[in-house]
Chain A
Amino acid sequence: NAGVTQTPKFRVLKTGQSMTLLCAQDMNHEYMYWYRQDPGMGLRLIHYSVGEGTTAKGEVPDGYNVSRLKKQNFLLGLESAAPSQTSVYFCASSSPRTRQAGYGYTFGSGTRLTVV
């Protein structure tokens, strides 16, 4: 099925470890986003990309890096994990074409990350 795939689905890290979350979409969407969701805080934008080779900071970018080397993939990196980064991470994609049609985002199923 077409859509957005996130890997891994679950991960436990020790403080100071690094990891990369992968987001892949097969809808040829131009825009991709990484959000984190915490209880009582809603979804907050970490980084986003409006096209291959371009990235930009969102609302809560500190402690994260991203790369968009291929249009279909958007990687989120944690260089030195901290307990404050324990969260559920969602990737999403969209396109100017889907916005105009009112279709909004397509989300991945999320990555549940615990940093101990």
Chain B
Amino acid sequence: RKEVEQDPGPFNVPEGATVAFNCTYSNSASQSFFWYRQDCRKEPKLLMSVYSSGNEDGRFTAQLNRASQYISLLIRDSKLSDSATYLCVVNIRSNTGKLIFGQGTTLQVKP
């Protein structure tokens, strides 16, 4: 079983739609959680951290459910520019800073 699992998609949605991605992680010692965005042939970039209380950044909302070991990302009012691959990422409790990446979920927003 992969440590971080995501549905690879692709998710094809029209502009203005709301779309949600889920991710599950297997290690209960996971400490920090993130969503990264990766555009085609570019490096991943941090989109947002995910906290137990949930957090929002504009059109993006991230939620963490520690009991069920899953993380979600909700994108409201999708824009063409949101088309990218979204990586679910966890940090296992350690002193190394290692991050474990999911394989990513591809989003294509169409006009």
Contact = CB atoms under 8 A, between A and B. Distances in A.
Interface of A: 30-31, 33, 35, 40-45, 48, 50, 56, 58, 90, 94-96, 99, 102-105, 107-110
Interface stretch (B13-21, B44-52, B66-74): B44-52
Which size class do B's interface residues fall under?
20 to 34
A108 to B, nearest CB: 6
Interface centre among B32, B44, B89 (most CB of A within 10 A): B44
B103 A31 contact: no
Interface string B22-42: 000000000010101000011
Nearest to A102: B49
Interface centre among A41, A43, A58, A108 (most CB of B within 10 A): A43
B61 interface: no
Given A42-B102, A102-B34, A105-B46, 5 more contacts: A33-B97, A42-B87, A42-B103, A94-B97, A104-B34
A35 B43 CA distance: 11
A37 to B, nearest CB: 9
Contacts of B99: 33, 94, 104-105
B45 A43 contact: no
Contacts of A99: 32, 91, 97
Contact of B42 (A103, A105, A109): A109
Contacts of B49: 102-104
A104 B43 contact: no
Interface string B67-111: 000000000000000000001010100011111011110000000
Given A90-B44, A110-B43, A45 B98 contact: yes
Contact of B97 (A41, A44, A96, A108): A96
Contacts of A95: 97
A108 B51 CA distance: 26
Contacts of B89: 104
A99 B46 CA distance: 12
Contacts of B44: 43, 90, 105, 107
B96 A43 contact: no
B15 to A, nearest CB: 27
